[in-house]
Chain A
Amino acid sequence: MDEVTLDALRLTVRVATVATAVVLVPGTLLAYLLARFEFRGKGVLSTLLTLPLVLPPTAVGFLLLRLLAVDGPLGRRVLGFDLDLILTWKGAVVATAVMALPLVVRTARVTFEGIDPRLEAMDRTLGHRPAAVFVRTTLPLAYRGLLAAAILGFTRAVGEFGATVTLAGNIPGRTQTLASAIFAAQQAGQDDEAMFLLVVALAVGFVAIYASERLAGRTGAAPR
């Protein structure tokens, strides 16, 4: 495996892992909010959270680029400092996180909606505040579904291309992920290189999903 491929592999795993970690907590809380509570603007929030799923990824990347540009609403001029996200690996994290969020939220929401709210109510009658009930009862019951949400988010982040390449670029050794490396190799006519990268991507995806499903099966939480 050459240096460029190895860098792309390392970066892909790092970006996907960090993006999943970043998305998981807010995604879970948003999903719980949508699953359990009625409030004004719920429909709008739900739609906004789903949008990245239907927009072209390049459009999402471009939107992020405009937001983070020097004179954008999250740019240096407004914030007074530079978030340093354009053309950096952190930018790749932001792009993949935004693209992974809808999948995480939707999967987690369905999971929460499948949990009998009376079990949570029951736990409250035993003397626990709602926050404690969430940790003691809701999360353990949602364990498998949340793991599935994390896997989906991770695989989405591994495969993300359009938004990442738009915001973070395709700089070998710095922001080039497996997806963008395959695109670069194929564009340059290096089909052997592209094929090799494809096999690596396949292996990464297979190992991630297989390992997580084994983990979920062995822990065996929440028989339903």
Chain B
Amino acid sequence: MSARTGIERVVAIGRRGTANRRETPAPEAVPATAGGEALAAADELEIAISLPLDRFALEVEVKTRARVTAVFGPSGAGKTSLLESVVGLRPASGRIRFGDAVWLDSARRIRLPPERRRIGYVPQEGLLFPHRTVRGNLLAGAARARRAGAGGQAAPSARLEAVCELLELTPLLGRRVGTLSGGERQRVALGRALCSAPRLLLLDEPLASLDIPLRRRVLPFLARVRAELAVPMLLVTHDPRTVQALADELIVLRGGRVIARGAPREVFTDPKVFPLAEEEGYETVLPARLESTGAGSSTVRLGENGDGPLLVVPRTDGAPGESLLIGIPARETILAAAEPSGLSARNVLAGRVAAVRPLVGDRGLVLVTVDLAAAPGAALPPLATEVTASAAAELGLDAGKPVYVILKTAGCVVYGGRGQA
């Protein structure tokens, strides 16, 4: 996409930053939210609720100004209940506030109905309206966008056009929703939320209902929304990849309680959290740029700007220079203390051990995080690898020790880039 259309789109849907908000507050100290982007106080989300569930009570108390906050946890941790409370579809007691709008305050007997919270809700199953076409679904919240128009937002038609371009929905506009594929449904549900001019986007397991190949195709659209729109997001997921690809701040929920929070890359390698992530098949997700594509494989350069080490990955279609995300499963890695040679594996990455942590209660494995050697300025998240405790002892793995990470091409997973489908 050209820079020009990008700018038009940003104007049409709502600029990034807070310049177009009327109630922009006096700047105060921005909290250090994990190195991710922080928002102004007008977009601070505060959740302090308790909600009795079947087997336990959900007790959550968090404040976040991250642009994208992810709530991660195993199934049944109370994630969806938490999200539904924020949406206003599940009565909880406590306090929920977004900026200066109080959505719930049991002490003051305030409980704003969902239609007055100005949220964009993308439920797990999409919940498209079967009696409307795709266009009808996208415009289902247009009346609110029109009412919000007083605040300097673009007209609903311009908004629809911009959303269609962003999510590539234009060819689907006349279709009935019954004829859409799973990935298309999720994109329409996302587009419908965006067309209603929400102040906060709420996503419930945006990829859970999709099979693996489809996830690979839908994730980039979410990344695109994140990259191009100003709207803050709260997303609930049990998929560590989604979190790493999108979130600035991670909140881990287990048994209804917050057990960890912070920057995703740090929180996931917390020994309390990693086993939960590993159950889903943990992959470290690294940004990369496509370098070239051969017969059976593609070559990418790691790093946001493509100035990190080269990596040979399964073949992917795309233009050189395109942004991609590469998933490296913790179980697919081999560590070597000396530079190996004569391997069939295509990738040997040099780095240093960042930390060695025993994994609680399980099969004698340790989690070794490796800082990959990268060009200065191309800081990469640490790579999570799993080895047995005996191997770690034998290799003398300790923080600071130089190691080589060996990766088979087929072990790497390519997720369509942030820029392209």
Contact = CB atoms under 8 A, between A and B. Distances in A.
Interface of A: 116, 118-119, 121-129, 136-137, 140-141, 143, 221-224
A122 B88 CA distance: 11
Interface string B102-114: 0000000000011
B114 A223 contact: no
Contacts of B118: 127
A186 B127 CA distance: 57
Given A118-B123, A223-B176, A223-B178, A125 B130 contact: no
Contact of B131 (A122, A126, A141): A141
B114 A121 contact: yes
A127 B144 contact: yes
Given A118-B123, A223-B176, A223-B178, A124 B131 contact: no
Contacts of A223: 130, 176, 178
Contact of A126 (B89, B140, B176, B178): B140
Contact of B140 (A123, A141, A222): A123
Contacts of A141: 129-131
Interface string B80-109: 000000011100000000000000000000
Given A119-B129, A223-B130, A128 B123 contact: no
A125 B87 contact: yes
B144 A140 contact: no
B115 interface: yes
Interface string B177-193: 01000000000000010
A207 B8 CA distance: 57
Nearest to A128: B115
A222 B141 contact: no
A46 B196 CA distance: 39
A143 B178 CA distance: 17
A222 B119 contact: no
Contacts of B196: 126-127
A143 B131 CA distance: 10
Interface of B: 87-89, 113-121, 123, 127, 129-131, 140-141, 143-144, 147, 176, 178, 192, 196
A140 B127 contact: no
Contact of A222 (B89, B115, B127, B131): B131
A121 B127 CA distance: 10
Contacts of B130: 119, 141, 222-224
Q: Shortest 9 CB-CB distances between A and B: which pairs?
A: A127-B144, A126-B141, A125-B121, A140-B131, A122-B127, A124-B114, A125-B114, A124-B115, A222-B131
Q: What secondary structure prevails in chain B residues at the interface with A?
A: mixed
Contact of A125 (B88, B129, B147): B88
A136 B196 CA distance: 16
Contact of A129 (B115, B120, B140): B115
Interface centre among A141, A143, A223 (most CB of B within 10 A): A223
Interface centre among A121, A125, A129, A223 (most CB of B within 10 A): A125
Given A121-B89, A122-B121, A127-B116, 13 more contacts: A123-B129, A125-B115, A125-B117, A127-B141, A128-B115, A129-B113, A129-B115, A140-B131, A141-B129, A141-B130, A222-B130, A223-B130, A224-B130
A223 B140 CA distance: 18
B237 to A, nearest CB: 19
A121 B84 CA distance: 11
A118 B204 CA distance: 14
B87 to A, nearest CB: 6
B144 A126 contact: yes
A136 to B, nearest CB: 8
A144 B97 CA distance: 42
Contact of B143 (A116, A127, A143): A127
Contacts of A123: 129, 140
Contacts of A118: 123, 127
25 contacts: A116-B127, A118-B123, A119-B127, A119-B129, A119-B130, A122-B121, A124-B89, A124-B114, A124-B115, A125-B87, A125-B115, A125-B117, A126-B115, A126-B192, A126-B196, A127-B118, A127-B144, A127-B196, A128-B143, A129-B113, A129-B115, A141-B130, A143-B131, A223-B178, A224-B130
Contacts of B140: 123, 126, 136
A221 B141 CA distance: 21
